[in-house]
Amino acid sequence: MNKAQLVEAIADKVGGRQQAADAVDAVLDAIVRAVVSGDRVSVTGFGSFEKVDRPARYARNPQTGERVRVKKTSVPRFRAGQGFKDLVSGSKKLPKNDVAVKKAPKGSLSGSTSSRTTVKKAAAKKTTAAKKAAAKKTTAAKKTAAKKTTAAKKATAKKATAKKTTAKKAAPAAKKAAAKKATTAKKATAKKTAPAKKATAKKAPAKKSTARKTTAKKTTARKK
């Protein structure tokens, strides 16, 4: 049975050949699109369509027997459901006035829409988890940066206080040293000035002797 024969087989059930052709095209298109995007389409009692990845491997050319490397590829795969298997094997008989594959219960039919929604939900969960992880990393980085800045501030404050204490300790020592230098300088100047004063004191009697000689000359002149 080809596609045209399939359309003819269901034309009476769906209200016409055009409606049957549109229905077959819509079903096949939905299955193909879902499988290509990586979704799994399963119909209870009929089977499931899914995408399977095949790794790179070596194969043999059936004509020449030459070993050929086959690249990694993806292929569609159909797995028949248990009801379909039972009908084909003959363990169950085909119903005469009912469909071979009954309608699946509500929620058991997974197609492109439902699978895409599940994929979207999983992606949303992954993105939220990634956002939370990034937020945790940023908060941890901020905390570490704040700790480093506080430690640096404390270190600078300790250095400043140490400098102040050293300056306070050094100030009295500098004052004492300056006072010692001043006192030594005064003593040195006093020592230098003391001999000069003594020398001037020694020179003073000479002036007195000259004064006495002049008075003696004056008295002799008067007697004559």
Count of domains observed in the chain = 1
In this structure, is residue 141 part of a structural domain?
A: yes
Residue 118 lies in a domain: yes
**In the predicted model, what is the mean pLDDT of the chain?**
76
Closest alpha carbon to 104 in 45, 48, 50, 47: 45
Q: What is the pLDDT of residues 3-59, one digit of tens each?
A: 999 999 989 888 899 999 999 999 999 999 999 999 999 998 899 999 999 999 999
Residue 171 lies in a domain: yes
Q: Are 91 and 84 in contact (CB under 8 A)?
A: no
User: Is 183 part of a structural domain of the chain?
Assistant: yes
The pTM of this model reads: 0.43
End-to-end CA distance of the chain, in Å? 187
Indicate whether 133 belongs to any domain. yes
Q: Return the closest-CA partner of residue 20 out of 4, 42, 1.
A: 4
Domain that holds residue 168: 112-195
- Cα–Cα distances in Å, from 80 out to 27, 58, 84, 133? 17, 29, 6, 42
Angle formed by the axes of helices 17-36 and 112-223, to 10°?
Answer: 40
| Domain-embedded: residue 19 | no
For 149-187, how does the pLDDT look when each residue is reduced to its tens digit (9 = 90+)? 777 777 777 777 777 766 666 666 667 777 777 777 777
Asked if residue 67 belongs to a domain, the reply is no
pLDDT of residue 136: 73
* CA 138, chain centre distance (Å): 7
